[in-house]
Structure 1
């Protein structure tokens, strides 16, 4: 079983999302959109599944530095965990800040987290699938100091778990002393704002003191407009991860000069050569003209996608808790199936009916996996029933219009 604190907290995450949905119902306010929330959680699925494949690389980096270059071996006790908590948060601040101010890191390691145009607890789960290895570089000084990998991973997990609850509009301001020291929903709403005054502010993980110390603090004033300056406009979580990299690669190809190409990679997002207009600052938000991306299929297809998504989510949870028991090839195959599933369901949410035939193929693949995992004669009956039931439902949903 995977003992990653973030994975062990999955039930808590969905319990809190449920509470936020109750809050939405009681207050009769619009916090969640189903298509956006499903995409946020799907990005989280993609991130955790890929981390199950290459997460060992980043941990291996840390362990290698600790074993070969550490200047001490710090024991695990209350004071070392307290010191490590502060240092992990400081390292997180600088990685987080760098991932906003260095274009390469922004597009590969972080932009996905900011793509949602809503702000709720599901956004906390929307994470990049390529950021883990890059972020580890910023934590390697802790290995040099002598904090072992077990302590580091435990504290880093707690740091990430803390950041879940601050992705909400249900909490306004907390007591002043708490707002001064710690990261809060108010501070983090600023961080997710695409308003020019809010961009690249409040990079804290848990302690707000870093932003105050290093000049990146911004108090919440007017309500933020969430998202990125160039909207992603897709419910496909795989494409949401790949598109920024594709755009950056295209910019590299069309920009002349080796030095300019390096600047595109390592200068702030929005930089371009002077002959192309120079640095492009974020425009002011025109709230009258602004509309969120909100494509969705007809109701019968939404119901089909939602049920399939819940099943994929359940399968993913089982995979994350048990993947250490699988051979590499089995792990890769199951991870590939999960990625295919969330991408396929995201495409169907975009009302692209030409992708319905590929969904029939995915149902057949699901039946094959059920036979493999369950084994025995009953596995064929269960798989056959699954394919028949959902195949008929999909065929019916693809013909109906609300």
Structure 2
């Protein structure tokens, strides 16, 4: 069986355009379905007079989502080339077999957990992810908020490619993993059966992840499976009502450029004003939580100094 699975032939790079066409664009196919359910949620929210949507935020989410589709289309060929090149270097290349999608998905989700966790623990990577957390209302359009530079995080998934999965299997896995996260961004699905909540990143589990309260910050990183969080000590059940957004919310909620790049701009200003290499590196790769706390303390200190001078 192993002989028939491993040792697949190399994929000729001159036929790259043919392989690209063989990779199903599942996300693009799913867009009409996602829009359909989003409109239903909007209509229900309107008639129930709930505050799950806010006009400017919704516009921002849609524009960010359109931009993500454009970036994906531009980068698709180069990403396919990269992963085929890696695949061709491996002596243990796997044949294109659909059942390999299952182990690939579980392994991919494991690395997704760590990529997601690092994206919260180091500021540079947080800047590639914060886009997804800027919404102060929780609804299906939040799933559209995918950073335009998120492909930088593909470095975290190279171990999956190095295992030898066929490139088509890898890209299908990636698309299914992204689409799975659509349905968890809603207030309308509350607690699910206990075994589902224990295994999967359900809406309840993922609402916690979007919380700005101290008990919810940096919890529930699992994309599809929540048992990674239970295993590595980052699980938090949904208890009190979640307050969505980031600790310092952005003011311009409809501008996709601000939504995507405000954190990079803040990093630039912090690094430019920092003294010494150690401080500069801290503002690039330090914990976003610690950096925010330090900047808050400085702001409070400056405010108190001004008040004392006035008095």
Tell me the equivalent position of 1:145. 163
Map 1:64-143 to 2 at 5 A: 64-68=85-89, 70-107=90-127, 109-132=128-151, 134-143=152-161
Tell me the equivalent position of 1:42. 63
Inter-partner Cα distance in structure 2 for 1:21 and 1:221 = 25
Alignment partner of 1:8 out of 20, 23, 29: 29
Inter-partner Cα distance in structure 2 for 1:277 and 1:204 = 26
Question: Is the counterpart of residue 61 in structure 1 residue 82 in structure 2?
Answer: yes
How many angstroms does 1:61 deviate by? 2.9
How many angstroms does 1:3 deviate by? 3.6
String of CA shifts for 1:6-50, please: whole Å, max 9, x gaps: 111100110111221233145332221222111111111112212
Question: Is the counterpart of residue 203 in structure 1 residue 224 in structure 2?
Answer: no
Question: Is the counterpart of residue 265 in structure 1 residue 290 in structure 2?
Answer: no
Judged with a 3 Å threshold, the aligned counterparts in structure 2 of structure 1 residues 245 and 31 are, in CA distance, closer, same or farther, namely same
Alignment partner of 2:203 out of 180, 185, 191: 185
TM-score, length of structure 1 as denominator length: 0.65
SS at match of 1:49: helix
TM-score, length of structure 2 as denominator length: 0.83
SS at match of 2:250: coil
Inter-partner Cα distance in structure 2 for 1:98 and 1:280 = 23
Structure 1 runs not aligned, ≥5 long: 282-402
Tell me the equivalent position of 1:229. 247
Contact 1:270/1:280 (8 A) holds in 2: no
Tell me the equivalent position of 1:239. 258
Judged with a 3 Å threshold, the aligned counterparts in structure 2 of structure 1 residues 264 and 57 are, in CA distance, closer, same or farther, namely farther
RMSD, aligned α-carbons: 2.0
SS at match of 1:9: helix
How many angstroms does 1:278 deviate by? 4.5
Question: Is the counterpart of residue 158 in structure 1 residue 179 in structure 2?
Answer: no
Contact 1:110/1:128 (8 A) holds in 2: yes
Inter-partner Cα distance in structure 2 for 1:86 and 1:183 = 13
Alignment coverage as a number of residue pairs:
275
Alignment partner of 2:234 out of 201, 216, 223: 216
How many angstroms does 1:124 deviate by? 0.5
Contact 1:264/1:271 (8 A) holds in 2: no
Contact 1:187/1:220 (8 A) holds in 2: yes
How many angstroms does 1:279 deviate by? 7.9
How many angstroms does 1:119 deviate by? 0.4
String of CA shifts for 1:54-105, please: whole Å, max 9, x gaps: 344444332222222x241122334311101101111111111111111001
Tell me the equivalent position of 1:286. none
Inter-partner Cα distance in structure 1 for 2:295 and 2:215 = 17
Contact 1:71/1:144 (8 A) holds in 2: no
Contact 2:68/2:146 (8 A) holds in 1: yes
Inter-partner Cα distance in structure 2 for 1:105 and 1:227 = 18
String of CA shifts for 1:348-388, please: whole Å, max 9, x gaps: xxxxxxxxxxxxxxxxxxxxxxxxxxxxxxxxxxxxxxxxx
Inter-partner Cα distance in structure 2 for 1:51 and 1:250 = 29
Inter-partner Cα distance in structure 2 for 1:26 and 1:183 = 29
Inter-partner Cα distance in structure 2 for 1:99 and 1:277 = 18
Tell me the equivalent position of 1:51. 72
String of CA shifts for 1:286-344, please: whole Å, max 9, x gaps: xxxxxxxxxxxxxxxxxxxxxxxxxxxxxxxxxxxxxxxxxxxxxxxxxxxxxxxxxxx
